[in-house]
Amino acid sequence: MLSDWVRNWTYGVRASAARMLGRLGVSPNALTVFGYLLNLPVMCVLATGHMQLGGILVAVAGLFDSLDGALAREMGQGSVFGAFLDSVADRFSEGTVFLGLFLWYLRNGGQLELVLIYAAIFGSLMVSYARARAQGVGVECKEGLFTRFERVILLAIGLMVQQVRLALWAMAILTNVTAIQRIYHVWRVTGREKQPKS
C-alpha cells in the first residue's frame, strides 16, 4: 500500500519530530486530540467554500495525525487506550471534514455531491469497522487499496486543484471497494468457515 511506503520513507523525519515534541513534554494522547481539533477550522473553511485553502489545511492536519503514533513509539508511551483514542479521533476527523463539505453543498444545491459525500463516509466507516471486527475475531486486517492515508491525500489534492467532485467519486467507490476487500480477506483467512445451524 502507498501508506506503508510513505511511512517507511518518512520514518526518520517523523521520529525526529516526535522526539522534539517529547522533549517539549507533549504526550501522544494530547497530540491526538490536537490533531482532531485542527480539523475544526478545516470544517469551517470548507463550509464557506474555500476549497483550495481547505485542501492545504487537510494536508497539514494529516501530518499531525501521523505524529502521535511516532511520538508514542519514540517516548515508550504506547498504550491500548492511546491506540483506541487515535482510531476514534480519526473517525471524528473524517466526519468533521466531510461535514464542512456537506454544509457547503447543502446550501449550494450540490445534490450529487451530497450523495457522494454520504457514500464516501459510509465506505470509510465500513473500512474501519471491518478491521475492528476482524481483530475482534482474531484476524489482523490491514488489507485494501484505500486506507485513511490515501483518503486524506486524495481529498487534499482534489480540494487544492478544485476537482472536488472527481475526488468524491473516487472516494465513494474506492472506500467501499476496500471494505469489500477486507471482508474477502477475513473470509479467506478464516478458511471459508461455515456457521453451524442454530
Check if the beta carbon of residue 38 is closer than 8 Å to that of residue 61. Answer: yes
Query: What is the rounded average pLDDT of the residues 36-61?
Result: 94
Give the 3-state DSSP-derived string for 10-70, with helices as H, strands as E and coil as C: CHHHHHHHHHHHHHCCCCHHHHHHHHHHCHHHHHHHHHCCCHHHHHHHHHHHHHHHCHHHH
Instruction: Look up cell 469497522; give the residue.
Output: 129
- Domain extents for the chain? 7-189
CATH code of the domain made up of 7-189 = 1.20.120.1760
Query: What is the rounded average pLDDT of the residues 46-62?
Result: 94
Alpha-carbon distance values, 167 to 4, 60, 85, 175 (Å): 22, 18, 28, 12
Share of the chain residues as helix, strand and coil, in percent rounded to the nearest 5 = 80, 0, 20
Instruction: Look up cell 495525525; give the residue.
Output: 65
List pLDDT tens digits, range 55-84.
999 998 888 777 777 777 767 767 788 888
What confidence score (pLDDT) does residue 34 get?
87
How far apart CA 70 and CA 16 sit, in angstroms, is 9
Percentage of the chain lying above the pLDDT 70 cut: 82
What confidence score (pLDDT) does residue 198 get?
44
Band (pLDDT 50/70/90 cuts) for residue 174 is: very high
90 is catalytic: yes
- Whether residue 97 has pLDDT greater than 90: yes
What confidence score (pLDDT) does residue 49 get?
94
What distance, in Å, lies between the first and last C-alpha atoms of the chain? Answer: 40
List pLDDT tens digits, range 115-155.
999 999 999 999 999 999 999 889 988 888 888 888 999 99
Say what the pTM is.
Answer: 0.84
List pLDDT tens digits, range 13-26.
656 666 676 666 77
Q: 65, 68, 86, 90: which is the annotated catalytic residue?
A: 90
- Whether residue 192 has pLDDT greater than 80: no
Q: What is the mean pLDDT of the chain?
A: 85
